[in-house]
Chains A and B, each alone.
Chain A
Amino acid sequence: NAGVTQTPKFQVLKTGQSMTLQCAQDMNHEYMSWYRQDPGMGLRLIHYSVGAGITDQGEVPNGYNVSRSTTEDFPLRLLSAAPSQTSVYFCASIPGGGYTEAFFGQGTRLTVV
């Protein structure tokens, strides 16, 4: 049981490049979400999903796309990377609702130059 797995752990992009951050969970959780954490700040919600085929925007969705074709995977796509997207990205999953705990991945540290 691996929990929540994020890949890659580190990435450097040039401005304008695109890439996909991967997030996978093997716990059959319904809800998954993506966050970014800038230095010295709390986590901010980018996008979230309440089940396969259903996604919605969070607090800071601009510049990011998501899809949820399977329960297990929730990739985050950067369409045209900008230096302002330099951050640490975390993925989380939760079985369903607030009555149980959320699980987080170890994060992807992204630098856009």
Chain B
Amino acid sequence: DAKTTQPNSMESNEEEPVHLPCNHSTISGTDYIHWYRQLPSQGPEYVIHGLTSNVNNRMASLAIAEDRKSSTLILHRATLRDAAVYYCILIYNQGGKLIFGQGTELSVKP
């Protein structure tokens, strides 16, 4: 199973953009890149996913490197409610198991 590497923690100021990086150098051609976040005492929550092209949704944007060995989750304007642990995960196209890394703990300062 391909692994991901993320920084342990990051800080941001409220209403500023946040760029959360993820390295996945062993990604295969059929692995989708997923991002989830986990608020305290809750289950992980889906944020965004993509395969090759950059993706946008109401929560965030996902920028995928051309060689797909890294990606960046972009929160356009961080709010206090965005403080959470963010996980970058690779999911095989034909499989349903998720292998979590340590994730990045994002703190947002007012």
Contact-residue bracket for chain A: 20 to 34
Q: Is the CB of B43 within 8 A of A98?
A: no
Interface size on B, residues (CB 8 A): 28
Residues on A with C-beta less than 8 A from B32 are: 97-99
Known contacts A42-B103, A98-B34, A99-B32; decide if A33 and B44 are in contact (CB<8 Å): no
B44 and A90 contact, CB distance less than 8 A:
yes
Specify the chain B residue showing the minimal Cβ separation from A42.
Answer: B100
A96, B100: Cβ atoms under 8 Å?
A: no
A52 close to chain B: CB less than 8 A: no
Q: Contact check, B34 vs A102: say whether CB atoms are below 8 A apart.
A: yes
Listed by A's residue number, 25 A-B pairs whose Cβ atoms lie within 8 Å are: A31-B95, A31-B96, A31-B97, A41-B102, A42-B85, A42-B101, A42-B102, A90-B44, A92-B44, A93-B96, A94-B96, A97-B92, A98-B30, A98-B31, A98-B34, A98-B90, A98-B91, A98-B93, A100-B49, A101-B46, A103-B46, A104-B43, A104-B45, A106-B42, A107-B43
